[in-house]
Amino acid sequence: MIIRNSAALIPLILLFTAVSIPIVALKKKQIAFFMVMIATSLSVIISFYNIFRVLKVGTIHYHFGGWIPPIGIEYVLDPLSSFICLVINVIALLVLIHSKKIIEMESNIKSVPYYALVLLMLTGFNGIVLTGDFFNLYVFLEICSLAMYGLISVGGKQAPVAAFRYLIMGAIGGSFYLLGVGFLYIKTGSLNMADVRSIIPHLYDEPTVIVAISLMVIGFGIKMAVFPLHGWLPDAYTYAPTTSSALIAPTGTKIGAYAMLRTLFFVFGVNYVSKTLHITDILAWLSAIGIIYGSIMAIAQKGMKRMLAYSSVSQIGYIGLGIGLCNPLGLIGAVLHVMNHAIMKACLFLVAGNYRVKLGHSNIFKLNDNIRKKMPWTTAAFTVAALSMIGIPPTLGFFSKWYLALGTIKNSSWIFLAVLLISSLLNAVYFFRVLEKVYLKPMSSNDLEEPNMSKNSKADEVSSSALIPVLILSVALIILGLLNTIIVKGIIEKMIPAGM
Amino acid sequence: MNIQSCYTSFVPLYAILVSLLAVPLIIFSSKKKNLREFWTIGASLIKFGLVISLIPNALLNKTAEISIVEISPGIELALKADPFGVFFALVASGLWIFTSFYSIGYVRGLKDKKQTRYFSYFAICLSSTIGVAFAANLLTFVVFYEILTIATYPLVIHKEDEKSIRAGRKYLAYTLTAGSLLIAATALTYQITNNLDFKAGGMFKGIALTPNMALVLFLLFLGGVGVKASIMPLHSWLPTAMAAPTPVSALLHAVAVVKSGVFGIVRVALFVFGPKLMYELGLNNILVVFAGFTIIVASLMALKQDNLKRRLAYSTISHLSYIVLGTALLSSSAILGAIMHIAFHATMKITLFFCAGAIYVNLHKENISELNGVGKVMPWTMGAFAVGSIGLTGIPPVNGFVSKWYIGLGALQANNLIALIILIISGLLNAAYFFPILHRAFFRSGENLEGKKEASPFMVVPLVITAMLAVLLGIYPDFLFHFYHLAAMVVTNVLGVIS
């Protein structure tokens, strides 16, 4: 029975655990962490199982409660959704392992409600990815957004403001999306994606549909933080506690990208959105601007987390560009970059967290080579992730750049090709700036005044629960880079929608 | 007699891996210096042995092939030890042995910090250089080329002072930009040909390529590999990167890194575009112009450098363009000479850099104006320096004469008198910037040199051997390593396709 219901199992397990944590862990706080571990580990295992099953038997449709769509809610496991699900859950598991010791050090976090919120957010993420129903997607979107506001607001002093800003933007995004769904429902009379897909070709000329699609795209655009709808992102990532930013940055925006991809290509149809409405062109151009803008802003930052946040704006652009290119290679690049960016950003934010644990800050200009002597492994992981961000082979970053470059050439979009290449150089600028500091800048006497810096340069790594996830992520970047073809051929090529 | 055939062999892969595997060993024995250096020497000897073992089959035009893993649908990370690859690998791995011994003397002589990092990255650089040599297709080439870029950075900034950090930045700015162009060129080629395998005589055979497209593609490639080959105006990172320790300059900036650049140019010209297409579209003329300009201007700039290493750097820039020029002339002798110059320039220039380093460690002198009378104190070192200078000027019996002779012959074959004139002028300029150094060292008397002796044997022995090698190869170019035969093989493979 469990096997038959595996499609719906992940959100249910996560939701159930989220709700039961505050009750079970009421007396003993430590239980919360173990419950989280069990729930996320189970999600990872089921995600693996799902992906292999999908590859074996093809797309799986799961009808909730046995109700046949369009009346009932349907979950769809196809290569795209099972892949994104796997990425999210694996990253979440690693980041949460990392959180074990870190969470106790953040002063204003109560671990029990925090973990409950984390699981609620993951419920939302998985739900969005798995559902085949527009309204159900909205519900999960709101669940994860509300959880995210909470997770961000428990950070530093400015965090509540950042969270509030995100709340406003997120609520606007959600409303846009809901309005879009409403318009769509008026015309099609259905909320099921597959059902809408079969009806929509007859309504391609209807202005209502065009309005609906525009509203939905803006809604997703805010969630995805596509330029110029990214305003909420830098503050939110900067001021959120380590675990929150390491969870949200790699996965949160990808959910928006996924929803965008799903809606545009799998519901409205490739030809309609690209040739008739030119939405993909607009997306590609905005993304291209975002890529450059994000990189330049990242160069201008002093704090490492804020730099990483702006770099996220730029990296989301890669994904948007890949989608916007509207050809198979671009799509391969975009999906591979979803995975690549999830791994890199999780790794980088965790490293920033590890630095904060030891130094109390992650200000780039205050870093010096003492931190590398103290934390050689963390810094090595940072280096690998940075090289992947720049796109140096054989890391995964090189290959997502490679597919995206092939995609731009396929469309003869030379400007986008130039944008990709320039951006990787800008990435080199802001990452080598940090690498120079942590490897080459000797400790000066001013640095000694800082409370957490002792002069002895003995290795003093963070605890293994905080180190191992970072190392796994960085090694994964190299291994998955060399083996990327297995993923591309085995899974991603199967995602390419009809008509591309 | 010249049928190219292939066989599967792991040797090229082992040749890459051996120095990579040495890296953890080097790191783990960082406390025991002698053991650590043992790994470096051991790896370099094994690597050289592996490359040597590929020669007999390469001379029969049998190519060792191995594909490791598919890195993009339809493109393998594949290695192929064709005669040209073996030729370059031979140069790089052979000279690594000398550099390893020399490095030991150098870093210990200066009591450098971070010697472990130094030896580790040196080993990684050599792995990627051999990878560049054996890359069977463009994407594999790009992968190793980029790794080489990154692995060289820690060596450039080795001294960790303000000057070398700035040099490192400049180095990265140039090479990473070039890497981006190379990736663009590779992706573009893939869209056109759907196949990235290097092929002697060109990979665009039977594929319609508009002249404009070909030009854009060629310029992208030129930008991509031209930076490491330091064709002017893309050269200025190289003199700056001389802030690195001398063995790094010697091996990387005379052998591995810059030669990867020219190796790339030869690959692009003869194995991607092919001589026929190059000639038909007039692309070779672009190369001739750039190379000719670089040869003359770099020699002139070398004249006014007082810093010995900087003068050698400009001389390197000029001599790299000999190779580019020879390739661009597209005649059989010119290509033969160009390929041989890859090896011969390497032996001579590494000797000169070794000498510069020995002088620096022993006497702490960097400038030419301070070298008065050094020849009397360090006769072996300056003797070797004399051999290298004579060779680069193109005077027999040193090997520089041989390669230059063939390039000159090739210029006549190609009816390109201007190229010949450039070669002659450059020879004079070489004499003009090298011989004053010899004059100072041997015929002027210096001050404060009492009690100074030769540098440590770790340094002197390698440089004497490389100098002797340069002479031996000048008298008998096919000596031991069959450089002449291998180069001739490349020429027939490349040109045989058109005739």
Name the β-bridge partners of B8. Answer: B65
Check residue B1 and give its pLDDT. Answer: 43
Lowest mean pLDDT among A237-246, A268-277, B1-10, B248-257: B1-10
Are residues B180 and A417 in contact, defined by beta-carbon separation less than 8 angstroms? no
Average pLDDT over chain A, rounded to whole? 88
Residue, of B111 and A333, whose pLDDT is higher: A333
Of B251, B240, B402, B391, the closest CA to residue B313 belongs to B240
Check residue A388 and give its pLDDT. Answer: 92
CA-based nearest residue in chain B for residue A436: B165
Question: What would the pLDDT profile of A27-40 be if each residue is shown by its tens digit?
Answer: 888 888 889 999 99
Min Cα separation A328/chain B (Å): 12
**Residue B109 pLDDT exceeds 80:** no
β pairing state of B5-8 and B62-72: parallel
Average pLDDT over chain B, rounded to whole? 86
B382 contact partners, CB below 8 Å, separation of at least 6: B355, B374, B375, B438, B441, B442
**Residue A139 pLDDT exceeds 70:** yes
Side chain identity, residue B86: V
**Residue A458 pLDDT exceeds 80:** no
Are residues A35 and A20 in contact, defined by beta-carbon separation less than 8 angstroms? yes
Where are the alpha helices (H) located in A228-327, listed in sequence order?
233-239, 242-261, 270-271, 279-299, 304-325
The verdict on a CB contact (< 8 Å) between A390 and B176 is: yes
The verdict on a CB contact (< 8 Å) between A417 and B176 is: no
| Spatial distance between the Cα atoms of A341 and A118, rounded to a whole number of angstroms | 20
| Spatial distance between the Cα atoms of B38 and B293, rounded to a whole number of angstroms | 44
| Spatial distance between the Cα atoms of A89 and A145, rounded to a whole number of angstroms | 17
CA-based nearest residue in chain B for residue A390: B176
| Spatial distance between the Cα atoms of B257 and B262, rounded to a whole number of angstroms | 9
**Residue B498 pLDDT exceeds 50:** no
Where are the alpha helices (H) located in B330-398, listed in sequence order?
332-363, 374-377, 379-393
Does an H or E element contain B70, and which? strand B62-72
* Confidence bin at B161 (pLDDT 50/70/90): confident
Name the β-bridge partners of A363. Answer: A303
Using only C-alpha atoms, chain A has a radius of gyration, in whole angstroms, of: 22
Question: Could you give the ipTM of this predicted complex?
Answer: 0.89
The verdict on a CB contact (< 8 Å) between A394 and B191 is: no
Q: What is the arithmetic mean of pLDDT over A348-358?
A: 87
Question: What would the pLDDT profile of B418-469 be if each residue is shown by its tens digit?
Answer: 889 998 999 899 999 989 888 888 888 877 777 777 777 888 888 898 899 8
| Spatial distance between the Cα atoms of A18 and B264, rounded to a whole number of angstroms | 58
Say which residue the tokens 């005669």 belong to: B83
Check residue A314 and give its pLDDT. Answer: 93
β pairing state of A60-63 and B75-81: unpaired
Q: What is the arithmetic mean of pLDDT over B125-150?
A: 91
The verdict on a CB contact (< 8 Å) between A392 and B146 is: yes
Residues in chain B closer than 8 A to A299 (CB atoms): none
Check residue A211 and give its pLDDT. Answer: 92
Lookup: tokens for B374: 């050094």
| Cα pseudo-dihedral B403, B407, B410, B416, rounded to 10 | -170
Residues in chain B closer than 8 A to A482 (CB atoms): 69, 71, 77
B238 contact partners, CB below 8 Å, separation of at least 6: B230, B253, B258, B313, B316, B317
Peptide bond preceding A70 in cis form (omega within 30 of 0): yes
Q: What is the arithmetic mean of pLDDT over B50-68?
A: 86
Does an H or E element contain B7, and which? strand B5-8
How large is the greatest C-alpha to C-alpha distance in chain B, in angstroms? 71
Residue, of B205 and B140, whose pLDDT is higher: B140
Check residue B2 and give its pLDDT. Answer: 55
| Spatial distance between the Cα atoms of B139 and B253, rounded to a whole number of angstroms | 24
- Coil, helix or strand for A158? coil
Min Cα separation A442/chain B (Å): 9
Side chain identity, residue A305: K
Which CA distances in Å does A87 have to A83, A480, A490?
Answer: 6, 13, 15
Does residue A430 belong to the interface with chain B, where contact is any CB pair within 8 Å? Answer: no
CA-based nearest residue in chain A for residue B180: A421
* Confidence bin at B366 (pLDDT 50/70/90): confident
Eight-class DSSP state of A88: H
Q: What is the arithmetic mean of pLDDT over B477-486?
A: 81
Check residue A445 and give its pLDDT. Answer: 57
* Confidence bin at A4 (pLDDT 50/70/90): confident
Of B168, B429, B370, the closest CA to residue A439 belongs to B168
Q: What are phi and psi of B30, to 5 degrees?
A: -65, -25
Q: What is the arithmetic mean of pLDDT over B329-337?
A: 89
CA-based nearest residue in chain A for residue B73: A485
* Confidence bin at B499 (pLDDT 50/70/90): very low
Using CB atoms within 10 Å of the CB of residue A449, give its burial: 0 to 12 exposed, 13 to 18 middle, 19+ buried.
exposed
Min Cα separation A288/chain B (Å): 17
Using CB atoms within 10 Å of the CB of residue B416, give its burial: 0 to 12 exposed, 13 to 18 middle, 19+ buried.
buried
Please count the other Cβ atoms lying within 10 Å of the Cβ belonging to residue A152.
28
Question: What would the pLDDT profile of B188-206 be if each residue is shown by its tens digit?
Answer: 999 888 888 888 888 887 7
- Coil, helix or strand for A121? helix
| Spatial distance between the Cα atoms of B22 and A113, rounded to a whole number of angstroms | 50
Min Cα separation A281/chain B (Å): 21
Does residue A493 belong to the interface with chain B, where contact is any CB pair within 8 Å? Answer: yes
Are residues B338 and B269 in contact, defined by beta-carbon separation less than 8 angstroms? no
Which CA distances in Å does A432 have to A297, B172, B262?
Answer: 15, 9, 27
The verdict on a CB contact (< 8 Å) between B146 and A398 is: yes
**Residue A449 pLDDT exceeds 60:** no
Q: What is the arithmetic mean of pLDDT over A347-353?
A: 90
Say which residue the tokens 């995004």 belong to: A173
The verdict on a CB contact (< 8 Å) between B69 and A482 is: yes
Peptide bond preceding A207 in cis form (omega within 30 of 0): no
Question: What would the pLDDT profile of A203-224 be if each residue is shown by its tens digit?
Answer: 888 889 999 999 999 999 999 9
Please count the other Cβ atoms lying within 10 Å of the Cβ belonging to residue B322.
28
* Facing residue for A392 by CB, picked from B150, B165, B187: B150
**Residue A453 pLDDT exceeds 70:** no
| B146, B172, B192, B213: best to mutate for the A interface, most A CBs within 10 A | B146
- Coil, helix or strand for A500? coil
Lookup: tokens for A108: 């204003």
Lookup: tokens for B83: 């005669």
DSSP string, A361-414: --BGGG--HHHHHH-HHHHHHHHHHHHHHHT-TTSHHHHHHHHHHHHHHHTT-H
Nearest 5°: CA angle at A78, between A326 and A213?
A: 45
Residues in A 372-391 with any Cβ partner in B closer than 8 A: 387, 390
Does residue A416 belong to the interface with chain B, where contact is any CB pair within 8 Å? Answer: no
Question: What would the pLDDT profile of A76-130 be if each residue is shown by its tens digit?
Answer: 999 999 999 999 999 999 999 988 888 877 767 788 888 999 999 999 999 999 9
Eight-class DSSP state of A463: P
Residue, of A489 and A450, whose pLDDT is higher: A489
Of A157, A155, A179, A153, the closest CA to residue A165 belongs to A153
Using only C-alpha atoms, chain B has a radius of gyration, in whole angstroms, of: 21
Side chain identity, residue B92: A
Q: What are phi and psi of A419, to 5 degrees?
A: -60, -45
Check residue A72 and give its pLDDT. Answer: 83
The verdict on a CB contact (< 8 Å) between A488 and B191 is: no
Are residues A120 and A147 in contact, defined by beta-carbon separation less than 8 angstroms? yes
Of A15, A47, A48, A18, the closest CA to residue A35 belongs to A18
| Cα pseudo-dihedral A277, A280, A282, A285, rounded to 10 | -160
- Coil, helix or strand for B64? strand
The pTM for the full model equals: 0.92
The verdict on a CB contact (< 8 Å) between B183 and A403 is: no
Does an H or E element contain B81, and which? strand B75-81
**Residue A259 pLDDT exceeds 70:** yes
* Facing residue for B72 by CB, picked from A417, A428, A485: A485
CA-based nearest residue in chain B for residue A482: B71
Does residue A401 belong to the interface with chain B, where contact is any CB pair within 8 Å? Answer: yes
- Burial of B93-111, coded b for 16+ CB within 10 Å and e otherwise, reads bbbbbbbbbbbbbbbebbe
B282 contact partners, CB below 8 Å, separation of at least 6: none
Eight-class DSSP state of B455: -
